[in-house]
Each structure stands twice: as structure tokens, then as C-alpha cells.
Amino acid sequence: MTAPSTHLTAGPRRREPVVLLAVGLIALVVSAIGAKSIGTWLLEVLAALIGAVILVVTYRRFPLSPLAYRLILIHSVILMIGGHWTYAEVPAGDWVRDGLGLARNPYDRLGHFAQGFVPAIVAREILLRCTPLRPGRWLAALVLCVVMAVSATWELFEWLSAVVGGSSADDFLGTQGDVWDTQWDMFMAGVGAITSLLLLSRLHDKQLRGLSPTDTGAAGHRSAVTTGSRRSENPAS
């Protein structure tokens, strides 16, 4: 009696990534229309474009969990909004700045928080499915290291853009005169990663256990997640 139910739920799960991709493509086109600078827009959405290509190419042999796909779409939309207006001029950020009496538009802080929040789940999933790691402190520590490496790489990319583009890259950098902007960006990414691990790890484990056995590595990481759950109360885990 359980087989028909599994079959029925497999269809929508397989279709969801396609729907999310379609939504993302529509949002991408909309964000490009009337963008302040098409060059800045392209730099801001470049990560989303590269990520989309990778996800499409690897979908059949390594489909991700629904949670990962949904978070990636949310992060992509955040990037698109920043690309459309530039991070320093997003209207919603101006409203928050004026309402809270802040000195700068805080939208870029949200962007870098998402830069930690979303990649944390993606990194966690890849590590669980492709390595012998189990849920626990070591996994969390390595996920945080991966996120901070991604954040540092992005900051180096921004630095290179400034070296090559000079003042024309100001809109892309969005420092708003803050000499500690790079440090704040990496700090927010770290906070995002820690928040994501604290809030979503259990849901993520549940979705990993529910992946189809035909998905590459699914059986292995379902076992890993189950084993890790049993060891989660052990301080040495």
C-alpha cells in the first residue's frame, strides 16, 4: 500500500526543480529590464547564472534535496534584486535605513547573510552524500569552513573587479564608504551559515532520508544521516 504513495510523491518532487528553474529565469529577465547598469547587473547575477548551469548539468545524476533547490532560488532572487538597483540603492533597504535610523542601506548585509545561509545547506548536502562524514560537530565545522572560503573567494573577486574596473566598479562593490565592508561581509556570511545549520539541519536530514533510492549516493547518505542522528547526543559525535 505504500508503493503507490511513494510513486505519487516522486512525480511532483521531480517536477519541482523544473518549476523553480522557470521561476528563476523569469525573475532573471525581469531583473535585467531597466537595470541601473547592465554591467553591474551581470556581475551581481553571475553566481546565479553559473549555479543554474551546474544544477541543470548535474540534475539527472545528482539531484539535490527540495530544501536546497528552494534556498538556491531565494538566494538567486536576492542577487537579482541587488543587480537591478545595485545593493546600495535597493528601495527596501532605503526604507529599513530610514526607519531604523541607520547610516547605510543594509541590503548588502542581507545578501551576504544569504551567501552563508544558502551555501551552508548545499555544502552540507554534498559532504554528507560524497564523503564518510556524519551529522555532528565535525560536519558543522567543515560546512562553516566551506562557507567562509566561498565568502573569501567572492571578496577576492570584488577586489579584482575594483583593480580592473577602477571607479566604474563602485556600484558593484557597494561599500558605501565603509572601510570595514569586506570584514562585515564575511562576518554576515558566517552568521548566515551558523543560523542555517541551527535552524535547518533536522529538516535537511529528513529530506535527505526521503530521497529516492535511484538518486546517486542516496542510500549511503540516508544511512549516514540515520547513524548521525543516533549519535547526535554523544558529545564525541
Give the pLDDT confidence of 50-80 residue by residue, as tens digits: 999 999 999 999 999 999 999 999 999 999 9
Average pLDDT over residues 28-48: 93
Between 5 and 9, residue with greater pLDDT: 9
- Determine the Cα–Cα distance for residues 232 and 164; give it in Å rounded to an integer: 48
Given this model, what pLDDT does residue 197 score? 98
CA atoms within 13 A on the CB side of 151: 30
Average pLDDT over residues 164-191: 74
Q: How confident is the model at residue 234 (pLDDT cuts 50, 70, 90)?
A: very low
Which amino acid would we find at residue 21? L
Helix axes 181-209, 107-130, angle to 10 degrees: 40
CA atoms within 13 A on the CB side of 143: 31
Nearest alpha-carbon partner for 193 in 122, 107, 93, 97: 122
DSSP-based three-state secondary structure for 45: helix
Average pLDDT over residues 218-236: 50
Given this model, what pLDDT does residue 58 score? 95
Cell representation of residue 177: 564608504
Between 53 and 39, residue with greater pLDDT: 53
Given this model, what pLDDT does residue 219 score? 43
Check whether 106 has a pLDDT greater than 80: yes
Which amino acid would we find at residue 187? F
Residues 111-141 have pLDDT tens digits of 999 999 999 999 999 999 999 999 999 999 9
Check whether 4 has a pLDDT greater than 70: no
Residues 140-149 have pLDDT tens digits of 999 999 999 9
Given this model, what pLDDT does residue 194 score? 98
